[in-house]
Structures are given as structure tokens and as C-alpha cells.
Amino acid sequence: MISPATYYPEFDSVEVEARITPLAACDEEIVRTLRCAAPPRSYEALVDSASRAAVDEWLGEAEEYPFQNVVRTVVAGVVAESDPLGPYADVFHDPRAALRETLGRAESRLRELWTRPLVAAINHARARGLLSGASPEERYDDFVERAVRTSFEEVSGLSFPVLRDVTRTVLTYEVANVRELCRRLLADRQEIARVFGIEPADRIVSCGFSDGDAHNRGRSVSVLGFASGARLVYKPRDVSCEAAYAALADRVNDRYGTSLAAAPVLRREGYGYVEFVAAEDVSATSEEFMEASGELAAVLYLLNARDMHFENIVATRRGPVPIDLETILHPRRLYVGATPEAPGNAYDALGESLYGIGILPLVMVGKDEGAGHVDVGFLGGQGRGSSPFKTVRLLDPYTDHVRLALEAQESPPRRTVAGALTEEETHALGAHMAVGFGRVYRAVLDEPGSWRELLREAASGVRVRYVHNATVLYGQTLRMASSARALDDYEPYLALLKRIAIASQDSSRELVASELRQLARRDIPYFTVAAEGVALEEGDGTPTGAEFDRSPLDLALEKAERLSETDLDEQLRLLYSAFSASFPDNHLARPGTAGPAPSRPDPERSRSAARSRSAARSRSAARSRSAARSRSAARSRSATSEGPEAGHAEGGAGLARLLDGLCARFLATSLPDRYGNLPATWIGPSASAQVGRPWPPVVLGYDLYTGRPGPALALAAGGRVLDNAAYRDAAAQVFGTTAGILADGTYEKRSLRQAGFAGYTGLSGLLFALFAAGRLVGSDEWTDAAREAVPLVLDQVRDERPDELPLEAVSGLAGVLSCVLAIGGPHADAALVELAGLLTDALRPGRVPAELAQSGCAHGVSGILAVLSRVQPRLTEGRQVVGDALARLYDRLDAFYDPDARDWFTNLAGPRSFSTGWCHGTAGVALGLSAYGALTGDEDVLRRRGTAVDTMLRHGFGRNITWCHGDLGNHDILRELIRDTGDPDGRLREELAAVESTWLTPEVFRRKLADPRSRYAHTTSLLVGTSGVALHLANRLDPGVHVSPVTLTVAEGWT
């Protein structure tokens, strides 16, 4: 017996006992059901000679994948008892072709199921010397030939009883489902002619059996092709949702003047037919199409629709046509956990949001930083890089050494609605969609009673599908249970299928048991509930025993009651974010003005450094003159209150109004986490420090870069500066709750491990935010909790192999060092020694970690140089080792320096390029050199610092309102430089004032925050979003406590 820990490493023994052990009650029923399936006989039992000939021809074709002949021989048994199409020959134009389609569909069902046992069998046979042939290819041929004549089990000496039982079950379902389709077609031809105009004499030339998901004992959708060229979609499930939507679309068009398009439907008892809708090129009418898409999105939002991705909506010249509507009026997730879910929690809100529908670009991203993504949203684009889903590939195919490999695959190409678009075109389409969405939303908001009336009419007699777990998760579970070991014995087969209880751990036992039964027969679990009811059933009407608290209709009616301008703004924010997230916004000047915008390239799109020395010198001189004129003009405008950014004249009052507006927004959009005992959170794009990585909306986690600590820290700062108790209370809901959880030890160690230890992406960053917030509002409880939790960070660091620890500031040791240095407390000294030791050991002579290939602060040399320079005086031991490492880091920076450009390359691994920000560019270099210069006083270091500062001043402003790679971060670095140098001649203070009066005025902030094209306006991220703007404003308004997300410091008393 294999230990449960092998199958369920995510669970401890108590959880296994509570979640897994009770499912054993299903084992006997499942095994009995699978073993009772009637075994197929040989296809020679066919009476019809034409059918036998068709099968012979099919079996005689050359293999297109390994072991195909073996799989096809087994599949031939699907027609053993009787030809399933025989009694219905008149239905088909060519019964032989229809039979081949039937066989092909069954083959596709068995292929994945049989592959791994066949691979195991041939390798076992080879190892035992049971195969004949002089080469691997000949021995493969011998295995296949004998397996076809007898069985692969007999050839290999292995036995797979579960595989035999499951195969009989799957093939039995295939035969029954084909017969069911034929019977229904014969009975429905007159009605089909009435609704769709396809005459009864128009014979079927293709059954169009789908390779898609099988539900309810192997049933799946078919696209029927007729001799006339007509096509029709047969759905072997209830189509009341499609019928209800078609009727609703007509009523909505009449009532609100919309142009919703719907496919005609023929509803039968438990199944139905839907018009086949062909995709069309809509590029010529893209603006009208996007407005229509906005209208559709609004109606689907009001209907609480889910799963409306690119396969379920078709682009046509009459507008977007939804073709699979079983998931409208979707209920909330069934939950029966011990801890009550918070009403109106963020997870429910995100699922019921515009993004949750699936019509917007819907990105699925891999976990690793370098992972690619796929976009399954209806209006989404092509994926990029490797798909987050892995695929099985056969290595050394057609040999007796064939083996399996699990590997990443490139994101598959998909049909997109708009095709390749420029940035301008993409923004424009998003704006047109927003028009359509807003028009319908406001029309319903103005007449809520009319909408509720339409909703009740539409929901009458409708059954909706409930998606409990994602299809991809069910598919993964089935693949795990297709291994040779699982198909050899029922114990591992059932144990692996029971892993579904991990995803359903807070669901009713009856529901999980139903999932298990359906998976065991190789179905994707399928559940339905009446729109006006609460009882959950399987697809065939079998009660599960589980019930919802409220009906799907009740939820939709409640949503209609909650409609508001605030909610509309939030949905539009998600909409605009979906269309802007791929495009950095690096222009603070007004459109059409000739302001002193730097001529440097976008820091996220660094230009090539391949240029001549003379051209470099010329550009450098020109920039110096331009920058000088800009600073002079800025000082002049500051004195006269004139110029293109006249909003600077508002001064502190304007900044305070902006801060108040941002904090009010954070307060209004704060939501409970899933459970009421957890800190509050927000919904927003998951901004990433990695260039090119998508920003899908999520429930914000605990990371400093883009998580809930950002808006909570902004609220704490706003509450202090504005003396606003409501903002302080909202911050306390996050940080006070966090402090209590840490102090009481009521956290899950698994959750801490999942969060990681890093400064910007893990636990140490959360502790820094908790400490900083405590300093802002004067809470010793918060600062003490942060300090006492430092050992938790160290524990996570120690769990990693020292040679695998990242060193950088964002996700590595440098960021942790900065956080611990800022937090201080009783554990800090020992922690600093340990962390500095790990970092310097990784930097010892002879080692060249990846971080040394980049110059910036976020991921490279400058960030490590800066923090070690600040830490070295605090160390109680190891100072000399750190000093030696600092000298090597400083020397390393020389490898990046271009004397003609008077600048540092961003990296050495690719084409030479420059950047301006803290993360990858010169501003970060200036920060690192400043910290090292302040430590050593070395004249050479100070000269290089001066060069970096001059370059940053020439190129580092006029970009964007972010800390990570924009003006806020560079502004903070300029402030840090003033602190480090003392600014004896006042030049840096003068530069700081010029930046604030030119690029960081209230008018600039208002304009960029209201810009729907700017991705930074749509995220609450601290480093690249609105909470970072709020913190910047608070720092300027009240320098008494200055919090820097760039240096990860909390300072007092700077002026």
C-alpha cells in the first residue's frame, strides 16, 4: 500500500483523514460500474459486408502515431455487437464514411488512455528479450503486429485490468451515443426543417464528431454537415440557456436599442440543436463590432455569465454571436468549509466582474518568471512563449526504446477577432467597446425594474451549468490517472482521481463524490441547477445532494440592485486595463506639446547601443543643452506660475486633493478577502516587473510590488497626512489584521512558503510595509509584529539551497537585506550577518552569478552594491568580507560603462542597450554608486557617481508616474542623492524642484491618472500604479516620515 503522502503531498495527515478517507465509500460502486460494462466482440461479427470492408480499410492504413494500429484494433470492437449506424443508413449520404467518423471519434477517446501502458509494455518486453528483430524499429513492428493479433498484455507479460474495464466503458458509451444521435435526428427532421430550413431529404455527409470534452457518459457536441452544404450543431445536453438568450436578445434590442445577435435554437427534452455560426472577418467594421461587443459584454455581465471565451463566441459581420451559453446565470461556488466565507468577498466579485466573463482578453500565465502565456478571451490575442500547460511527447517513436517526456509547448496559434494591431488601434478598439458597455449599463441603471422583469422571464424553465472546477484541472486529473501504474490496479487509479478533493477541499462531500464518479468513467464532471432553484444535479439529472444558498436568478437580481456609477467605473477600469496592459506609457508631456521630453528610449524598450562615437558625443551634448534649457524653463515657470503645466501653481493644496481622491478610491474599492478573518484586499491587474509579461486582473495578494500592502500603505500615509480617520481605519484593517495573525501565530506555514521570502514579491516585503505603516500611524503593535516575524523570513531562506538563492533586489537576498535593515529589532543583527554572509559567499571570487550580467538596481549589480554598502556598518561580524565583495562589485560596473555615451549598459547578455530607471538603468547605477561612495569616500567612486547623476538628470524624467522605471523612482533617488551628498551647492535641490514643477505637478498626475490608455492608471500597484502615486504625494506633503519603495527605507526629518 502506497502512503497517502505520495498521492496528496499538499495535505497533512489530518486533512487526508478528513478529505480523502471518506471517499473510500465510493470505491466499490465505481469498480462495479466499470467492470459491468459489456465487453466488445471482434468486428468480424458485423453482418454487413460493406461495413466490414470499411473497417478493414481503416485498420489497414499506415500509422500516423506510435501504436495506432493497436489502438484501432481495440476500437474496432465498438461495432462488434451490431453496426451502430446500420439501422440508420438512410440518414447518411455515405454510411461507410459515417462509420469511419464513428471509429475515428472512438480512437481519439482511447489514444491518450492507452499510450502510457503501451509504452510501458514495449519497454518491458524489450528488457525481457521478448521481441524479435535486429533493430529497435523491427522490434517495434514485431510488438505491434503481435499485439494486434493477440493483445499487448500477452506480448509483454504485463496486465492492465483497469485499462480493460475503462476501455469497455468508454467504447460502450461511444456506441450508445452514436445510436442516440441517429434516433434523435430521425425524430427531429421535420422540426429541424421548420427552424433551420434544412429539408428532411438533405442527407448527412459528416457527423463532425468533436474531439472536445466528454460529459454525461461520453457525450459531446457534433457539427452535422449536410449534402446541401448546410451545417447544424447538435448538443446532447439541455439547450434552455441558448433558447432563453435568443429570446432575451430580441427583448433587449427592442427595449434598449441594442444590436445583440443570437443563433436560432431548437430545444428538445434534454438536448437540442443550434444554428452553425461561421466566423467572418470583421476588420472592415471593427469599430461597430467593438461597440456591439461592449453591448454583449454588458448583457453577459448582468447575466452573471462565465466561460465566454474565444471558442464560445463567434465574430460575424452582424456582431459577436455567443454559441455556447450554458454558463449564463452562473451560481457562486459551493462552499461548506469550517470558516465562513465573507459576504461580497473579492473572489466572488472578480468571478462576477466583466473580466470574469471571459469576453475580454483572458490571460493564463505560467508560474515561473520566464514562462509564456496563452490568451483564451474572446477579444484576446496570440499567446507568447511557452504555454503554461505542458504536453506529453513521445521520444524515439516507432522503436522499442520509445519513452514519454513532459515538456512545455509553444502557445498554440488561435483565431483572433482583430488580428495584428498597432498600439493606437488597440486603444481605439477598447474605447469603442467601453462605449457599448457603458451605454447598456447606464440604460439598465436608469430602468432597473425593466431589466429585472426581462431577467425573470428569461430564467423561467432554464437549467444552467455549474462549473465547479476548471476543465483544465479535470483534464490534468484524468491524465494523471492514465499512467501505466494507475491502469494496472484500482488502488492507484482511484487514489489519483481523488486528488480532485484537493481543489474541492471546501466543497460538500456529496459533490466531490460525484466528481469522482464522473472522472472514473473518463467524463469531465458536469453539473446543472435550475435557474430558479438551488439543488445541484449531474448532467443526466441525478441529484448530487448538494445545494446552493441562493438560486442563480436571485444572484442576478441582487447584482441588478447593486448597479452604480462606482461599479461601472470599476468594470471600465478592468476593460481599459485589458487593452492597455501590453503597452508601457512613457510620455508625461501633453500630447502635441513640445515640452522637454527626453530623447531617450522607453526604459522598457531599450534602444540598441550600436552607434558611432561621434554621434554619441553629439547627442550627449545636445541633450545636455536641452536639459539645461528645460531646467531653466522649469525654474522660470515655477517663479511665474506660467507654462504648459500650469497645474503646478496649485502647490500643496493640489497634491493634497489628489491624495485625498486616490485614498477615497482605495477606500471605496476595498473588499473582504475570501474569509473575514483575513486582511482586506483589492481587485486589480497583477503588474509585473518583467517586461512583456501580461497583467491579468487578480485578487491582490501580499507582495509589496503589486499586492494589497500597496494601497494599504497609501491609506496609512494618507490618513497621517490628511488626518483622516477613515483612511487610517482602512489601513488598520489590513495591517492590524496582519499584525494580529503574525503575533498570534495563526498563519499557515504552507501559505508563508507559497509567498516566498523576497523583498518585493514575498514575506520580507510584507513585513517592511507593516513596519512602515506602523511608523506612519504610530502603531508600536505593527512595528513590533514586523520585527518579531523576521525569523520567519530567515526560516524560508534556510529552506533553500544556498547555491540556488537569487541575489537580486526584487526576488532575492538583496531585497531581503534591505527590508531587515529597515525593520530592525531584536533579530535584525543576527539576520543581517547571516544574509550578508550568504550574499557575499555567492559573490566570492571565481563565481559569476546571473545577477552580475545586469547593471541596474532591480536585478543587477547596483542593487547589491547599494544594500551591502548600507548594511556593512551595521554588521557585527564579516565587515571585511563585505568590503571585499563591494570592491569587486564596483569593479564589475566598469564592464557596463560606455565612455562615449557616459552611460552604463543595462546588461551584458544581449545587445547593448541603455535605460533610465531605477530597475535597469542609470538611476539605479547612481543609487548604487552613491551608497558606496558615502561608505568609502573614494574620489573615483564619487566622480563616477557624478557622471551617473548627470546622465540621470539628462534622461531620467518625463517618462511615467511609476516608482519602478519612471519619474517617481528617479525623483526618490534624487532625494536620496541629496541626503548622501549633503548637496553643498544646492544644485540637486534645484533639480528636484525643477522636476516637481515640470513633470510631477498636480495637473500631470490628474491627466495621467484619468488616461484610459495608460496601464499605470488601472493598477493599484505600489511600484507601477496608483498606490505608488499616493505614497509619493504623501511623502512630498509630509517629509516627517518618508517611505521609499526604491531603497526600502523609512526615514524621518528630511527637508
* Rounded Cα distance, 858 and 397, in Å: 45
Task: Give per-residue pLDDT as tens, 271-305.
Answer: 999 999 999 999 888 899 999 999 999 999 999 99
pLDDT at 227 over 60: yes
Residues 91-133 have pLDDT tens digits of 999 999 999 999 999 999 999 999 999 999 999 999 999 999 9
pLDDT at residue 614 greater than cutoff 80: no
pLDDT at 67 over 90: yes
Query: Residue 597: is its pLDDT beyond 70?
Result: no
Given the DSSP bridges, would you call strands 313-316 and 1041-1044 parallel, antiparallel or unpaired? unpaired
**Domain extents in the chain:** 37-233
* pLDDT at residue 634 is higher than 70: no
Q: What is the pLDDT of residues 466-521, one digit of tens each?
A: 999 999 999 999 999 999 999 999 999 999 999 999 999 999 999 999 999 999 99
138-154 pLDDT per residue, tens: 999 999 999 999 999 99
Long-range contacts of 739-747 (CB under 8 A, 24+ apart): 739/770, 739/774, 739/779, 739/781, 739/782, 739/785, 739/786, 740/785, 741/678, 741/679, 742/770, 742/785, 742/786, 742/788, 742/789, 742/792, 743/781, 743/784, 743/785, 743/788
Any binding-site annotation on 182? Answer: no
What's the pLDDT score for residue 639? 34
Q: Cα(550)–Cα(542) distance, rounded to whole angstroms? A: 20
Q: What is the dihedral of CA 382, 961, 1002, 1036, to 10 degrees?
A: 150
Q: Quick one: average pLDDT of 445-450?
A: 94
Task: At 409, give phi and psi (nearest 5°).
Answer: -120, 155
Q: Is 919 among the annotated ligand-binding positions?
A: yes
Phi, psi of 449 (to 5 degrees): -65, -40
Return the SS3 of 1042. strand
Question: pLDDT tens digits for 670-723?
Answer: 999 999 999 999 999 988 756 556 788 999 999 999 999 999 999 999 999 999
964 is in an annotated binding site: yes
What pLDDT sits at residue 9?
Answer: 92
Q: What pLDDT band is residue 633 in, cutting at 50, 70 and 90?
A: very low
Q: What is the mean pLDDT of residues 329-354?
A: 94
DSSP 210: -
Average pLDDT of the segment spanning 649-661: 88
What pLDDT does 276 receive? 97
Q: Which helix (H) or strand (E) holds 576?
A: helix 565-580
User: What's the pLDDT at 7?
Assistant: 94
Burial of residue 334, with CB atoms counted within 10 A of its CB: 0-12 exposed, 13-18 middle, 19 or more buried: buried
Q: How much is the average pLDDT of 942-969?
A: 94
431-445 tens-digit pLDDT: 999 999 999 999 999
The pLDDT of residue 593 is above 60: no
The H helix count followed by the E strand count for the chain is 39, 21
Nearest residue to 253 via CA among 184, 318, 185, 209: 318
994 closest CA partner among 680, 645, 662, 666: 645
* Mean pLDDT value across the chain: 89
pLDDT for 184-226, tens place per residue? 999 999 999 999 999 999 999 999 886 678 999 999 999 999 9
Q: What is the pLDDT of residues 883-920, one digit of tens each?
A: 999 999 999 999 999 999 999 999 988 788 999 888 99
Q: What is the DSSP string of 777-841?
A: HT-HHHHHHHHHTHHHHHHHHHHS-GGG---STTTSHHHHHHHHHHH-STTHHHHHHHHHHHHHH
Window from 337-351, 361-375, 431-445, 862-876 with minimum mean pLDDT: 361-375
Looking at residue 377, its pLDDT comes to: 73
Beta bridge partners of 903: 898
How confident is the model at residue 994, as a pLDDT? Answer: 96
Does the reported pTM lie above 0.85? yes
